Chain A
Amino acid sequence: MLTQEQAADIFDRIRRLSSADEVEAIFNGSRFALTRFANNTIHQNVEEENSIVSIRTNFGGRTARATANQFDEESLRRAVAASENLAKVQAPDPGLLSMPTSEEAKAAGEGARATRFFDETAAITPADRAEVVGRIVSIAGKHRLTTAGIYSNSESREGILNSRGLAKWHRQTLAEVSITMLAGDSSGWQKLNSPDVRNLDPLRLAETAAQKAVESAHPRELAPGKYTVILEPAAALDIVGFMFWDYSGVAILDQRSFLNDRIGTQLFGENINICDDAGHPLQAGSPFDGEGMYRQRVPLVENGVVKQVVYARATVQKMRSSEYAGKVGPIAPTGHGFPLPNEMGEMPMNIVFSASQNPQSVEQMIRSTDRGILVTRLWYIREVDPYEKTVTGMTRDGTFLVENGKVQCGIRNFRFNESLISMLSNVEAMSVPVRSCGEESFDMVVPAMKVREFNFTEATKF
């Protein structure tokens, strides 16, 4: 596994090989292992180790990047030459900034962050994973179900160094469990991850997934239409995740954001408060962005009003001189930029929903519902209308009819076409936000949500 000292040595060699005005190197190294099971047996079991260096060179307003995963002299020479050749043929871009210095990154703020590296996670062996999978399979057997899923662990390193003195390094571990339980005509699912494996309880997840599979057996078909829904955190995460690409200065400048002409307006219900906070104790990931700037805590939505978007350094300059400058709230570097060069600019990816004043558990939401649908998970979500932020997708792995305050039965899965603006204006209740993960969006700290008039347009065959 690449160490910080080895990265510094490689960067010194890169600097000697380059004739560029400025040089930056981003290092990523990881050891990743995953045990995959299906049909109550381990059928795939993998481990990989790889490290890369991604070299960016600047020549007077021109920049480009080349990446290699071999660190011998010839490989580095080839990567430096590729980066320089790609940069030199471009026309200068007056908007390209010099690389940040260490002082600039510090001035933008860098707080102490708790470690996200846990030896207990890094030390998990193939035999350890097999042991846990064996117990999950036993739970499936106890309920006469078939199970499929994964148990993975990884350790990763990320560093950025540039020729203006900036040097950042981050290391992290992550363990993840995802479990599907299948019956003849129903299924249940649970998934969770954490930098610290001690925060995971795979057997409890397995029991919950099994319970969902059992309770959703023999699903009824309901007519599509507008229903009150209770979205468990993973379902809420996967659908709301589709709007955060738009909370970006570049998205506003490109006029591809649904927030164009809407920042500062009452877009969502007054109970919606969202920030981006890489330092939140339930978050994971690197504390710095693609240029080495520390990720700031940014209030995105307050009481349903979109307050601001996030910015990479260069986007700030462009926004301040644009026609939108007076209409987008605070404009300042927030440490959310992607590695340069890129077209997308920046994006908030450490989303944290605030707790509502009167949080309710999913069970409380069910008890207060006369007729509605409880949703475990959403699937294959895609954008239909970029400005109304309408997205389509399916329910999956545990969809239930709620009547008279109780879960009555499983139902066949629905297709939805729902505007996120409308959805976040119709949230009647939220649980305490939790760290959650799905398959369609990135991990977040998000509550379960009870939403009225959620638009189901079709039902499928199961």
Chain B
Amino acid sequence: MRAAAHQALDAATTRGVTYADARVAAIRNRSLSTKNGRVGHASESESLGIGIRVIAHGAWGFAASADLSRVAVESTAARAVEIAKASARVKREDVRLAPEPAAMAEWTTPHKIDPFTTSVEQNLDLLLKVDGEMRAVSGVTLAETGMNFQREESWFLSSEGADIHQTKYSTGAGYTAFAFAGSEIQKRSYPNSFGGQWQNRGYELIEEMKLLENARRVAEEAVALHSAEQCPEGTRTIILDGSQLGLQIHESIGHPIELDRVLGMEANFAGTSFLTLEKLGNLRYGSELVNVVADARQEHGPGLGTFAYDDEGVAAQSTPIITNGRFTGYLSSRETAHTIGAARSGGTLRAECWNRLPMIRMTNVSILPGEKPMSLEQLIAATDDGIYMETNKSWSIDDKRYNFQFGCEIGWEIKRGKRVRMLKNPSYSGITTEFWNSMDAICSRDEWAIWGTPNCGKGQPQQVVGTGHGASPARFRNIRVGSAYS
């Protein structure tokens, strides 16, 4: 594989490029699901190819091919150069790359159990047991489970001398119980909705999630929602569980800090950002308790945004995004770093696959836990009147990332420090900075976990990558609740 990358660089550099990199990737997936006691789908896939990125005449070109023969690699490199020269016909200034030491490195995701060494029988047996537990609950009309593994081995070489070999593993699993009755469909998911929990780990994640132990409770909650009161409309104190707060971070912090959005590069599709450049260092993004980092380093934890080097060879870093409530950092790349006066890229350029151009993507954008010990139950006990919401059901935000609306699967009304009744269809909405400035409590480290968002879409052609979001439950005051059903 390394030889193919070398051939690509040789072919590009002989055609007069000022920069070239080549990324060969071999990706393997396993995807399993069950539905109502039967296998839903069972599939494996492999994909191998090379993506070649060049700068010629001051502009970018990218070409990719699954054919790794010498002839095809040289042809693909030549095509990338031709494309770059076409790009140069409509440019305003030459591409500038922030300097980066040429790294030579080997790295593999820390893991205890390679998920591909586990048997399909073992995987399906667990899923079918979970499925059975959910369907044992009267009123459950549909039970779905899923489990996914991925191994991506990549070789990144650049004309500047970088030579990086990484192997990344990711694992995910989860399930949902649906209950249709009367004129309502209710559902509950575990440990999170839309596929469950995902991390860059091995099969040990599956073993730690207590999937089977929670199945009956989750199914009972799906049925019980039909008897619950509708979440009231009004201005309320809310407490969000860690998984919902993770998605709140993703949408209202993670996306607006992407520097390519800020600079208008996503204006036609994903949108722009309210975080224009003059706000860096000046905007009060949240309350004093809000501290957010973008951290791709191994020591941050096994999020879907954890790696050793990004897809243009920049080492993983931790960037302070919000510090004591003040906006302090963007997600950047070698091309965009100069626009914020940075001497170096923040190391966030990532591609979905070998056939896609790497772009600025969230790594692990995480809110730091509170320093004062506080469990979720203590936070609820310290709340006189509010609503606790758990597990995302719907999410939407405008294209500058101001106005958002989220729905959750389940809520509980809190009165005088106790959960007094279950609420169905809880939802809340607001404006990003007003929302984060209303945060007045966050639970401590023992409630903190890195949640995986495996389905983040961006770019044209669209690329779907996984991002990580560390979060613990937090409380917000004076939030508009229930407008989704108004």
Residues of chain A touching chain B, judged by Cβ–Cβ distance below 8 Å, are: 32-52, 54, 64-70, 75, 78-79, 82-83, 85-87, 89-91, 93, 125-127, 129-131, 133-134, 137, 146, 148-150, 152, 178-180, 182, 187, 189, 254-256, 260, 341-343, 379-388, 390, 392-394, 396-397, 413, 415, 417, 439, 457-462
Contacts and interface: CB of A to CB of B under 8 A. Distances in A.
Given A34-B461, A382-B395, A394-B403, A85 B120 contact: yes
Contact of B431 (A47, A390, A457, A461): A461
Interface stretch (B89-97, B98-106, B438-446): B89-97
A343 B33 contact: yes
Interface string B419-450: 00000010101010000000000000000000
A460 B398 contact: yes
6 closest pairs, A vs B, by CB? Answer: A126-B86, A460-B403, A343-B40, A67-B45, A148-B267, A255-B180
A134 B49 CA distance: 32
Contact of A255 (B65, B178, B486): B178
Nearest to B61: A45
B209 interface: no
29 contacts: A36-B460, A40-B90, A40-B92, A42-B60, A42-B86, A45-B59, A45-B62, A67-B47, A68-B45, A69-B49, A79-B46, A86-B120, A90-B39, A126-B83, A127-B89, A130-B86, A146-B267, A148-B264, A254-B36, A255-B142, A255-B185, A256-B178, A256-B180, A390-B484, A394-B398, A396-B398, A397-B399, A417-B485, A461-B403
B424 to A, nearest CB: 11
Contacts of A78: 46
A384 B407 contact: yes
B400 interface: yes
A68 B29 CA distance: 11
Interface residues of B, number: 84
B117 interface: no
Given A382-B396, A387-B185, A67 B43 contact: yes
Given A50-B66, A66-B44, A256-B180, 11 more contacts: A42-B59, A47-B62, A64-B43, A178-B269, A179-B268, A254-B36, A256-B142, A342-B40, A382-B394, A384-B407, A384-B427
A34 B463 CA distance: 13
Nearest to B433: A461
Given A42-B87, A50-B49, A89-B121, A65 B41 contact: yes
A149 B268 contact: yes
Contact of A90 (B124, B274, B356, B394): B124
Nearest to A138: B90
B395 to A, nearest CB: 6
Nearest to A87: B42
B394 A383 contact: yes
Contacts of B92: 39-41
A178 B33 CA distance: 36
B141 A341 contact: no
A70 B124 contact: no
Contacts of A256: 142, 178, 180, 185
A385 B425 contact: yes
